[in-house]
């Protein structure tokens, strides 16, 4: 199999495994009287949903720009990520609420069945196996997405370990330890909540036009200065949209040159930057006369309404 095929195969394996594990755990947990196993099963199914949403997001994001979306479709990934994060948070809150209300309300003791314990144990082994397999594929293909996926499988096995311990303790400990199964369900809910919140935070930055890192800005500035005729870079903004970066750059040129000469330099700056950097999708170059940018030097120390009036120049 070639690299791309290997990566896709690894993604498909994870999807199927999570689907089968999720259904097995929810069924086994319901029949085997373990709310921890049901919670862990909901976790696996939600992972399935996350993967499907990510695939859809990637597919839409890969579409080229069109008339209705001249900046491309890169945000699709952040939007599906946001939806998934909100769903995960809601699921986690419901599971946590259920486990807390069962813990606080006295009820008859009913130990989980052995089957529930065995399913939780199998889930730990399968998840660890998936981790080992995917970390190897990640090394071979150099895919960071698969590496992240691998570590997710390992964190999933912690969720199953929590269920395993909870079920085992409430089976072995008798009525006194019956609460352990519910407590484990609460722990699983917290793990899901953590995953949801971290996806929410990541997509927040992407949807807010967060700036590209300072290092990237420095590299882009250096690239622009390499173009003959660019006397200075007055300011530069870069924002991420999906995997793409969009750049706004203000260059200073000789005030006496013609509009045509200035425009040619601007075009060379755009070509040079998009040619030399992998992720830069487009560069908007603004040309201004060298030596007149002093009034803009302290742009970010001014009140925000002044910044907005100055933005176009």
**Closer by beta carbon to Zn ion, 149 or else 181:** 149
Q: What phi and psi values does residue 292 have, to the nearest 5 degrees?
A: -115, 5
Question: Mapping DSSP to helix (H, G, I), strand (E, B) and coil, where does residue 239 land?
Answer: strand
**Closer by beta carbon to Zn ion, 58 or else 193:** 193
The residue from 25, 250, 270, 281 that contacts Zn ion (CB under 5 A) is 250
**Closer by beta carbon to Zn ion, 17 or else 111:** 17
CB of 267 to Zn ion, least distance (A): 6
**Closer by beta carbon to Zn ion, 57 or else 74:** 57
Does residue 134 touch Zn ion according to CB under 5 A?
no
As a whole number of angstroms, the distance between CA 253 and CA 234 comes to: 10
Does residue 252 touch Zn ion according to CB under 5 A?
no
Q: What angle do CA 133, 135, 136 make, to 5 degrees?
A: 65
Does residue 156 touch Zn ion according to CB under 5 A?
yes
Window contacting Zn ion (CB under 5 A); options: 74-82, 95-103, 155-163, 181-189: 155-163
- State the sign of the Cα–Cα–Cα–Cα dihedral 83, 84, 85, 86: positive
CB of 195 to Zn ion, least distance (A): 6
The residue from 26, 36, 47, 238 that contacts Zn ion (CB under 5 A) is 47
DSSP symbols for 241-302: ETTEEEEEEEEEE-TTS-HHHHHHHHHHHHHHHHHH-SSEEEEEEEEEETT-GGGGTTGGGS
> Contact at 8 Å (CB) between 211 and 238?
yes
Does residue 127 touch Zn ion according to CB under 5 A?
no
The helix (run of H) or strand (run of E) holding residue 236 is: strand 232-241
Does residue 40 touch Zn ion according to CB under 5 A?
no
Does residue 284 touch Zn ion according to CB under 5 A?
no
Does residue 82 touch Zn ion according to CB under 5 A?
no
Residue carrying structure tokens 């390992």:
154
Residue with smallest beta-carbon separation from Zn ion: 250
**Closer by beta carbon to Zn ion, 177 or else 211:** 211
Window contacting Zn ion (CB under 5 A); options: 69-77, 133-141, 178-186, 247-255: 247-255
The residue from 114, 125, 284, 313 that contacts Zn ion (CB under 5 A) is 313
Residue 39's nearest CA partner among 208, 131, 163, 195 is: 163
As a whole number of angstroms, the distance between CA 269 and CA 266 comes to: 5
**Closer by beta carbon to Zn ion, 33 or else 239:** 239
CB of 107 to Zn ion, least distance (A): 29
CB of 296 to Zn ion, least distance (A): 6
CB of 197 to Zn ion, least distance (A): 13
Question: What b-and-e string marks burial along 225-253, b requiring 16 or more CB atoms within 10 Å of the CB?
Answer: eebebbeebbbbbbebbbebbbbebbbbb
DSSP symbols for 28-51: HHHHTT-HHHHHHHHHHHHHHHHH
Does residue 148 touch Zn ion according to CB under 5 A?
no
Total residues in contact with Zn ion, by rule CB under 5 A = 4
Give the residues lining the site for Zn ion (CB under 5 A). 47, 156, 250, 313
């Amino acid at each position: 199999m070639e690299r791309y095929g290997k990566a896709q195969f690894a993604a498909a394996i994870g999807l199927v495994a999570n689907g089968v594990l999720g259904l097995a755990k929810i069924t086994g947990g319901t029949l085997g009287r373990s709310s921890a196993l049901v919670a862990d099963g909901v976790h696996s199914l939600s992972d399935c949903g996350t993967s499907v949403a990510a695939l859809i997001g990637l597919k839409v994001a890969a579409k080229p720009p069109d008339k209705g979306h001249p900046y491309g479709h890169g945000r699709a990934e952040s939007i599906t990520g946001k939806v998934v994060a909100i769903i995960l948070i809601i699921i986690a809150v419901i599971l946590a609420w259920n486990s807390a209300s069962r813990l606080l309300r006295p009820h008859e003791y009913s130990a989980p069945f052995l089957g529930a314990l065995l399913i939780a144990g199998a889930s730990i082994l399968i998840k660890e196996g998936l981790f080992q397999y995917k970390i190897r594929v990640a090394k071979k293909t150099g895919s960071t997405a698969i590496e992240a996926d691998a570590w997710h499988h390992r964190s999933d096995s912690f969720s199953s370990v929590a269920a395993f311990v909870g079920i085992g303790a409430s089976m072995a400990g008798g009525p006194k330890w019956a609460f352990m199964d519910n407590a484990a369900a609460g722990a699983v809910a917290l793990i899901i909540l953590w995953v949801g919140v971290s996806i929410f935070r990541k997509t927040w930055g992407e949807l807010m036009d967060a700036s590209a890192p300072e290092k990237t800005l420095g590299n882009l500035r250096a690239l622009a200065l390499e173009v003959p005729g660019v006397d200075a870079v007055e300011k530069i903004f870069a924002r991420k949209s999906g995997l793409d970066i969009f750049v706004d750059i203000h260059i200073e040129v000789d005030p006496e040159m013609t509009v045509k000469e200035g425009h040619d330099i601007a075009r060379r700056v755009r070509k040079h930057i998009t040619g030399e950097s992998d992720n830069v999708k487009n560069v908007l170059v603004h040309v201004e006369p060298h030596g007149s940018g002093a009034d803009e030097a302290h742009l970010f120390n001014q009140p925000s309404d002044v910044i907005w009036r100055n933005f176009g120049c």
